[in-house]
Structure 1
Amino acid sequence: MSKRTPKIGPAVQKERKRKGLTLEQLALRSGVSKSMLSQIERGEANPTFAVVWSLTQALEIDVAELIGGTSSQRQTVQIEITTGTLTPRIQSADGLCQLKILGPPRLAGQTEWYEVEIQPGGRLESDPHTLGTFEHFTSLDGEFQVQSGAVSVVLKEGETAHYPADVAHAIANAGTETVRGLLVVLYK
């Protein structure tokens, strides 16, 4: 059973038009270039979470509205449930790495957590985050190579690595099986 990535482009275009905005106006509001917006709306670009977040803020909507539907069903006043099909995903350009965004959008840029899945040979590389940012990565199954700056370690199943993320850093699968982990990013 394959899972499909939500069609964000048509939803952006529909919401933009519903609000009576031109591509240029949405670009100014969101900080996303007009050409990138056009590519997203045509389904030619897969936006990063940061771009999706900027668009939802500019359109004054929730991420769940953008990806098609209600993000949660209220069970009680204090518990919200996001279904698996509505959980946003980010995929690397080569298709070998996938991040499932588990944290709520309102905490983006403060505390973020992801389920990470990396296929054999996949490498999730990140530029430095803001000064003082730390990542905490737990191997749920398999072995990973975790690199922060010039330091690199092998992380075995069940182990957690804590490392600075305000330098270039990476998480890689050097094995022959697809592996999963849990990533928590704490911004200072």
Structure 2
Amino acid sequence: MPADAERIEIGPRVRALRENMGLSLRDVAERCGVSATTLSQVERGETSPTLQVAARIAAGLDLRLSQLLRLDESSSVTIVRRGERRRGGDAKRGHVIEILTAPLPGQRSELTRHELRAGARTGNADDPPMHEPGSREIALVEHGALVLHCDGVDHALAEGDCVTFDADLPHHFDNPGPGDAVLLAVVSAGLRRS
């Protein structure tokens, strides 16, 4: 039997991904060239697409077929142990970053932990936006106090405060001191344009 004739069950995943991206059936149909009726039947489990159709659906969701089928994942649960965190930032300038999420293919969000010594900042006022258009960031001040500079406006944040903002705007966090501060941040990717 040819590979594209093998049937696969992906309906619930297609629906979840489509809804997470804020796309209608018609939107995805236009993006991938598969009819909205067929997509609806796939989502409801009334039909299983061939691999060729599944590949087109994956492309419409900005994924590779292996990502849609989760062939790139070894498990549905991924744990990043404390010692396995990816690290970055500039310790000499007082900013240390730990990326807490695993680098999985197709992942649409990332959780980071930032340690800022007194007087340190995550970036400079003239830095270009680091995140793609449509990205959003949620940040929680776990310890200390910070100032968010976002699109030319300052926002004072105390321990326990949580802020949500458009991450595609110029922004950075400052720690005015006197003590150190810790920030947890989740950045969710914007919708990619086809």
For normalisation by structure 2, the TM-score amounts to 0.53
Alpha-carbon distance in structure 2 between the residues aligned to 1:155 and 1:96: 19
Unaligned runs of 5+ in 2: 1-73
Displacement of 1:94 after TM fit? 3.7
* Corresponding letter in the other structure for 1:139: V
* Stretches (4+) displaced over 6 A: none
Match of 2:104, SS state, is helix
Alpha-carbon distance in structure 1 between the residues aligned to 2:122 and 2:102: 22
Alpha-carbon distance in structure 1 between the residues aligned to 2:180 and 2:118: 6
Alpha-carbon spacing, 1:173–1:83, altered in 2? closer, same or farther (3 Å): same
* Corresponding letter in the other structure for 2:145: E
Q: How does 1:107-146 map to 2 (within 5 A)?
A: 110-125=108-123, 127-128=128-129, 129-146=131-148
Alpha-carbon distance in structure 2 between the residues aligned to 1:184 and 1:79: 19
Alpha-carbon distance in structure 2 between the residues aligned to 1:146 and 1:178: 15
Length, aligned pairs only: 113
Displacement of 1:132 after TM fit? 1.1
Larger mean CA deviation between 83-92 and 99-108 belongs to 99-108
1:159 aligned residue (141, 161, 174): 161
Match of 1:123, SS state, is coil
* Structure with the higher strand share, 1 or 2: 1
Unaligned runs of 5+ in 1: 1-73
Displacement of 1:91 after TM fit? 2.0
Identity of aligned residues (%): 24
Alpha-carbon distance in structure 2 between the residues aligned to 1:127 and 1:117: 22
Q: What is aligned with 1:102?
A: 100
Match of 2:122, SS state, is strand
For normalisation by structure 1, the TM-score amounts to 0.54
Displacement of 1:79 after TM fit? 4.1
Q: Cα RMSD between the aligned structures?
A: 2.2
